[in-house]
Amino acid sequence: MAPSSEIVTPVVGLEIHVELATATKMFCRCRNRFGDPPNTNVCPVCLGLPGALPVMNARAVEFSMKVGLALNCRVASYTKWDRKGYYYPDLPKNYQISQYDLPLSANGHLDVPLPDGGASRIRVLRAHLEEDAGKNVHDNPAHTGVDLNRAGVPLLEIVSEPDMHSVEEVMGYARSMHRLVRWLGVSEANMQMGHMRFEPNINLHITRDGRTYKTPICEVKNLNSFRALERTVQFEISRQYAEWRADPEGYSIEKREKENRGYDDALGQTVFQREKEEAHDYRYFPDPDLVPVTVSDEWRGRVEGEIGELPLARRQRYMDAGLGFKEADALTQDAPTGDLLDAAVAAGASIQRCCNLLLGRGSAFANERGCTIAEVGVTAGQLAELAKMMDAGDVNATAGARVFDKLAEVGGTPREIAEAEGLLAVKDAGQIEAWVREAIDGNPQAVEQVTSGGKKRSKAMGFLMGQVMQKSRGAAPPAEVQRLLNEKLGL
């Protein structure tokens, strides 16, 4: 590793491509849907046939504005479409419609939560709208196929400033962006379906003996999982450091400005692809087939009004209401789960009690079913009623968990379930006392072990306790049982 006089600072910027969840494609009426048979969602426009004319999808612009505004960007009142020319088999037009010098959104930031409850601010340079390319299909060894269902799907490209300086910061930013686009409802952001792809730009700034060295910037293309992103950044940091150690003067940004690399998942390594092309290689020019987009103050204002509370603000609100960082963070992974909590609290339940139920049994069901906590299906009304019953001592914690399970499995009202299952706490003092008496009379050996105060005392007390709980089928309040046992045994 580095000698103590050396300071190595990773410098990372991230481009994120997000497929927008519109019903139709960016410039035609074809369906925007993953998984359909190849080349079934295509038309002359997205096939790039001569004479076909594109028409802009306003919903995609609106979705992009929403992201831009949530990222505190300046959303342009005037923007246009440009052709970015390059040849690739999955791009039949030989150009991609994108936004070059006038992106829809620019100069924003995203606050990335830190474990200590604070946040680190990553600047967003721009977020522009473009169309996705098709997909080359390599499932036949004899030839490569092309599926153009994806060609023309709206794609939002979000470009950060190189503000990240560790693997943790990169991952925090990527995950926050993932949560944000889902939160806003503009993308499913399903990684397996390629809805979100990462392209990190990575280099190192190394200070040694008062001099700063910068390694060439490497852009790693098309990463489609968090794991690939994490391994890529880790790998590049050590690879670049090793290359620089071997040749501090030669391996520098002055000599080799930029290169493109690909990620090989089997090797867990990045591999050289080519020297980076420059913007002028793409021969950008305004698309003559599309009119420029004007965004009125009224339109921008309406979209802004739809955004609502964002994850970090909501997390802070939960912490202010007394929840811990981890609890508040877990409840703000998606909007509907927090909405469920808010509605239960609005119905008069305690936030901590609801939180315990949601993150206990709720999250167990969510993991098992591969869904969010809200999608488990327990409603705010059910959650509030159960929480209130627990606070009133009508059901104890164990019984409450069982009621929650029934709600998730078959539904119903908490009180009816508790009654039907015999889970209601017994408040009849005479009945509880009778059970305690029975347990004492029926187990003289355990009583002896408790009263003699020997080594087996606490185990024996637990046994008596268990006997009473069993007789009550879990419905006796444990604290009251303990109190009565102590009293009767003269402790």
46 lies in the site for Zn ion, by CB under 5 A: yes
**Quick one: 30 or 167, whose CB is closer to Zn ion?**
30
Residues 120-179 interacting with Mn ion (rule: CB under 5 A): 157
Query: How many angstroms separate the CA atoms of 302 and 133, rounded?
Result: 31
**Residue 351 binding: pick among Zn ion, Mn ion, none (C-beta 5-8 Å cut-off by kind):** none
| Residue with the CB atom nearest Mn ion in the bound state | 157
Count the site residues for Mn ion by CB under 5 A. Answer: 1
Beta-bridged to residue 136, according to DSSP, are 146
Query: How many angstroms separate the CA atoms of 58 and 60, rounded?
Result: 5
Query: CB under 5 A: which stretch of 23-31, 295-303, 310-318, 475-483 binds Zn ion?
Result: 23-31
28 lies in the site for Zn ion, by CB under 5 A: yes
**Residue 157 binding: pick among Zn ion, Mn ion, none (C-beta 5-8 Å cut-off by kind):** Mn ion
Instruction: Report the nearest approach of Zn ion to the CB of residue 220 (Å).
Output: 31
**Quick one: 98 or 449, whose CB is closer to Zn ion?**
98
Residues 450-489 interacting with Mn ion (rule: CB under 5 A): none
Token pair listed for 306: 């739809």
Alpha helices (H) in 270-379, listed in sequence order: 297-305, 311-320, 325-330, 335-346, 351-357, 363-369
**Quick one: 29 or 255, whose CB is closer to Zn ion?**
29
Question: 279 in the Ramachandran plot: left (φ > 0), alpha (ψ -120 to 50) or beta?
Answer: alpha
Query: How many angstroms separate the CA atoms of 171 and 325, rounded?
Result: 18
Contact at 8 Å (CB) between 482 and 465? Answer: yes
Token pair listed for 445: 């050996």
**Which residue is it, tokens 């993953």?**
34
Backbone angles phi, psi at 164, to 5 degrees: -100, 140
30 lies in the site for Zn ion, by CB under 5 A: yes
**Quick one: 159 or 253, whose CB is closer to Mn ion?**
159
Instruction: Report the nearest approach of Mn ion to the CB of residue 157 (Å).
Output: 4
Token pair listed for 274: 């080519």
Count the site residues for Zn ion by CB under 5 A. Answer: 5
Please provide the DSSP assignment of 188-257 as one string: ---TTTTSEEEEEEEEEEEEETTEEEEPPEEEE--B-SHHHHHHHHHHHHHHHHHHHHH-TTTSSTTTS-
**Quick one: 19 or 342, whose CB is closer to Mn ion?**
19
**Residue 46 binding: pick among Zn ion, Mn ion, none (C-beta 5-8 Å cut-off by kind):** Zn ion
Contact at 8 Å (CB) between 53 and 97? Answer: no
Instruction: Report the nearest approach of Zn ion to the CB of residue 46 (Å).
Output: 3
Determine which residue in the list 18, 20, 45, 424 makes contact with Zn ion, applying CB under 5 A: 45
**Quick one: 30 or 177, whose CB is closer to Zn ion?**
30
52 lies in the site for Zn ion, by CB under 5 A: no
Query: How many angstroms separate the CA atoms of 387 and 397, rounded?
Result: 10
The site string for Mn ion over 89-118 (x = CB under 5 A, - otherwise) reads ------------------------------
Query: CB under 5 A: which stretch of 46-54, 96-104, 308-316, 414-422 binds Zn ion?
Result: 46-54
Instruction: Report the nearest approach of Zn ion to the CB of residue 30 (Å).
Output: 3
Query: How many angstroms separate the CA atoms of 113 and 119, rounded?
Result: 4
**Quick one: 96 or 356, whose CB is closer to Mn ion?**
96
Query: How many angstroms separate the CA atoms of 490 and 192, rounded?
Result: 64
Please provide the DSSP assignment of 82-135 as one string: EEEE---TT-TTSEEEE--SS-SEEEEEEEEE-TTS-EEEEEEEEEEEEE---E
**Quick one: 147 or 157, whose CB is closer to Mn ion?**
157
43 lies in the site for Zn ion, by CB under 5 A: yes
**Residue 147 binding: pick among Mn ion, Zn ion, none (C-beta 5-8 Å cut-off by kind):** none
**Quick one: 148 or 384, whose CB is closer to Zn ion?**
148
Residues at the interface with Mn ion (CB under 5 A)? 157
* Chain residues that interact with Zn ion, rule: CB under 5 A: 28, 30, 43, 45-46
